[in-house]
């Protein structure tokens, strides 16, 4: 089944404890992206990747890191999480390298930073 997966789905952590949210897609998509969703603010892009080893900042990259060592995986890293990073996170992928095509979203990761 073609899909985007994320893990974990739910995470409660404490300020400053490094964490990684994994994202994987099995559709051979070139483009992958991370969004955060907050009430009233919609979907805001954190980072995106147009291909292996090619990543760039989105609209709200502060406090986040990403890597794209393989085409299928695009992990999101929070080196020192803070409470303002409490949010719902979505990974997405699309066939085209620019992301300006149909985006397929993962199931979401609800992160709480205490």
Partner 1 sequence: GENVEQHPSTLSVQEGDSAVIKCTYSDSASNYFPWYKQELGKRPQLIIDIRSNVGEKKDQRIAVTLNKTAKHFSLHITETQPEDSAVYFCAAKARAGGSEKLVFGKGTKLTVNP
Pick from 56, 66, 58, 64: nearest CA to 87 = 64
Number of residues that bind partner 1 (CB under 8 A): 23
Place of tokens 């897609």: 25
Give the C-alpha separation, 62 to 109, whole Å.
18
Please identify, using beta-carbon distances, which residue of 85 and 103 lies nearer to partner 1: 103
Residues 66-105 that bind partner 1 (CB under 8 A): 90, 97-103, 105
Q: 34, 48, 64, 74: which one contacts partner 1 (CB under 8 A)? A: 48
Determine the length of the chain: 114
Tell whether residue 40 is a contact of partner 1 (CB under 8 A): yes
Please tell me whether residue 16 binds partner 1 under the rule CB under 8 A.
Answer: no
The residue (of 63 and 97) whose beta carbon lies closer to partner 1 is 97
Q: Which lies closer to partner 1 via its Cβ, residue 16 or residue 107? A: 107
């Amino acid at each position: 089944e073609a899909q985007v997966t994320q893990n974990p789905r739910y995470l409660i952590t404490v300020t400053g404890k490094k964490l990684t949210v994994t994202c994987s897609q099995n559709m051979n998509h070139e483009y992958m992206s991370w969004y955060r969703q907050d009430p009233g603010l919609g979907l805001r892009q954190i980072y995106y990747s147009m291909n292996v080893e090619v990543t760039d900042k989105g609209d709200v990259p502060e406090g986040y890191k990403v890597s794209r060592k393989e085409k299928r995986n695009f992990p999101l890293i929070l080196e020192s999480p803070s409470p303002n990073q409490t949010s719902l996170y979505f990974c997405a992928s699309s066939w085209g390298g620019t992301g300006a095509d149909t985006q397929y979203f993962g199931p979401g990761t609800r992160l709480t930073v205490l």
